[in-house]
């Protein structure tokens, strides 16, 4: 039976790579699919991985009805047999429900890939709805690593080198202008211990470098 499967993990866990591999495996057997994505690092209308692989994809806007899109593709003679949804955490809850309709109403397998939680450790609305509706939720087996070497379980937002826990939920990593200042926004994966302590890689180096030396006195001569 067709299924809605959600593959989830932190950043650097290989979600987009697995999405591309899944599409390749199906296409190599003559199956025809549709690839959706949103806020990809390579730009609009592209599904890319950190390994340099990429494929054209449909950019998901808030007003795009995914079920209607697939149904229209089928009505024009395209035989769609699978759907890939990358960055699914950014989809609206309604769009996640539309994915379930694609499975149940059109009999098509849907494979979704995304993050579970944001930089504040809160579930994305899209991820929450996927957990509620998916036939299966599959954590990715590839483990991302914190700077300390432990398994990374949380995503951290870093602004101008410092970890932050407040702000808009969705900010694509880039330079963001606030007033007359430009802020460099990047993301980093951390273990729970260092995420809760707000110690990212840069802060850990600063901590090591700023360790005070023990007081001592010069010997008398």
Catalytic machinery residues: 87
Alpha-carbon Rg of the chain, whole angstroms?
Answer: 21
Query: What is the pLDDT at residue 209?
Result: 43
Query: For residues 174 and 159, what is the distance between their CA atoms, to the nearest angstrom?
Result: 10
Query: For residues 111 and 154, what is the distance between their CA atoms, to the nearest angstrom?
Result: 23
Residues 92-125: tens digit of each pLDDT = 999 999 999 999 999 999 999 999 999 999 999 9
Nearest-CA neighbor of 86 among 153, 28, 41? 41
Range of the domain at 163: 154-209
What is the mean pLDDT of the segment spanning 192-212? Answer: 75
Residues 144-191: tens digit of each pLDDT = 899 999 999 999 999 888 899 888 887 765 434 444 456 788 889 999
Given 104, 139, 174, which residue is the final one in a domain? 139
Query: What is the pLDDT at residue 57?
Result: 96
Residues 45-98: tens digit of each pLDDT = 999 988 888 999 999 999 999 999 999 999 999 999 999 999 999 999 999 999
Given 113, 139, 165, which residue is the final one in a domain? 139
Number of domains in the chain: 2
Do 62 and 118 belong to one domain? yes
Given 84, 109, 139, which residue is the final one in a domain? 139
Q: Does residue 218 register a pLDDT over 80?
A: no
Query: What is the pLDDT at residue 200?
Result: 92
Residue 179 falls inside a structural domain: yes
What is the mean pLDDT of the segment spanning 193-219? Answer: 68
SS3 27: helix
- In this prediction, residue 207 has a pLDDT band, given cuts at 50, 70 and 90, of low
- In this prediction, residue 216 has a pLDDT band, given cuts at 50, 70 and 90, of very low
Do 200 and 100 belong to one domain? no
SS3 202: helix
pTM over 0.85: no
Which residues have CB under 8 Å from 145's CB, separation 6+? 12, 151, 152, 189
Do 57 and 134 belong to one domain? yes
Q: Does residue 130 register a pLDDT over 60?
A: yes
CB atoms within 10 A of CB 117: 17
Query: What is the pLDDT at residue 180?
Result: 46
């Amino acid at each position: 039976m067709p299924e809605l499967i959600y593959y989830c993990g932190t950043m650097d866990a290989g979600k987009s790579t697995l999405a591309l591999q899944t599409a390749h495996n199906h296409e190599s057997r003559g199956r025809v699919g549709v690839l959706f994505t949103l806020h990809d690092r390579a730009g609009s209308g592209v599904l890319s991985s950190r390994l340099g692989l990429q494929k054209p994809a449909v950019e998901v806007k808030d007003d795009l009805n995914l079920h209607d899109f697939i149904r229209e593709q089928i009505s024009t003679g395209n035989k769609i047999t699978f759907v890939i949804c990358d960055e699914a955490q950014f989809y609206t809850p309604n769009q996640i429900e539309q994915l379930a309709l694609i499975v149940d109403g059109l009999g098509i397998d849907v494979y979704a890939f995304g993050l579970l939680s944001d930089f504040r450790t809160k579930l994305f609305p899209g991820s929450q709805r996927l957990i509620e509706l998916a036939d299966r939720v599959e954590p990715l087996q590839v483990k991302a690593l914190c700077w300390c070497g432990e398994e990374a379980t949380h995503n951290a937002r870093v602004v101008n080198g410092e970890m932050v826990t407040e702000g808009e939920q969705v900010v694509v990593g880039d330079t963001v202008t606030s007033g007359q200042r430009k802020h460099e926004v990047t993301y980093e994966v951390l273990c729970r211990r260092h995420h809760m302590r707000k110690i990212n890689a840069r802060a850990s180096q600063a901590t090591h470098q700023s360790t005070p030396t023990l007081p001592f006195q010069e010997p008398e001569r």
